[in-house]
């Protein structure tokens, strides 16, 4: 259940982020021109990626796909607990990959990794 909650958090927040950045909204976080010069000049290590809504949309879509996979894996794990090792690995891997898009502001990814780790250590009752 922890993995399912984590996957849903990643899914919801990634969907909101993808819709927000996909609409061409500002990437300055509401600070307007206060943050505009923070990475200009010699400190522009991200180039134009950090100001591109397309980049943030793509990252959000990657996290969205990871959220969907974690939710599906958590549901299959609930239905087939005897396959706990395989689905636990899938949950841990895709929860970790969802960190790319902040993984539901890190809470969802953390829940997913915790739930996947518990699935890996699960001892079924014979």
21-60 pLDDT, tens digit per residue, is 777 766 555 444 444 555 555 455 555 555 566 778 888 8
C-beta separation of 113 from 4 below 8 A: no
pTM: 0.78
pLDDT, position 27: 55
C-beta separation of 74 from 7 below 8 A: yes
For the cut 80, the answer to whether the pLDDT of residue 118 exceeds it is yes
Distance CA 3, CA 69 (A): 11
C-beta separation of 102 from 21 below 8 A: no
Q: CB burial class (10 A; 0-12, 13-18, 19+) of residue 114?
A: middle
Distance CA 31, CA 73 (A): 39
- For the segment 66-115, what is each residue's pLDDT rounded down to a tens digit? 999 999 999 999 999 999 999 999 999 999 999 888 877 889 999 999 99
Cβ within 8 Å of residue 82, ≥6 positions away: 124
Q: CB burial class (10 A; 0-12, 13-18, 19+) of residue 93?
A: middle
pLDDT, position 5: 94
Which of 76, 71, 65, 99 minimizes the C-alpha distance to 5? 71
pLDDT, position 31: 44
């Amino acid at each position: 259940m922890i993995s399912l909650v984590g996957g849903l958090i990643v899914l919801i927040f990634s969907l909101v982020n993808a819709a927000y950045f996909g609409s061409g909204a500002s990437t300055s976080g509401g600070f307007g021109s206060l943050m505009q010069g923070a990475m200009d000049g010699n400190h522009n290590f991200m180039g134009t990626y950090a100001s591109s809504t397309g980049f943030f949309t793509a990252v959000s879509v990657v996290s969205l796909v990871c959220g969907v996979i974690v939710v599906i894996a958590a549901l299959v794990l609930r239905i087939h607990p005897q396959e706990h090792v395989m689905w636990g690995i899938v949950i841990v891997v895709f929860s970790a990959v969802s960190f790319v898009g902040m993984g539901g502001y890190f809470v969802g990814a953390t829940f997913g990794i915790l739930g996947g780790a518990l699935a890996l250590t699960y001892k079924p009752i014979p």
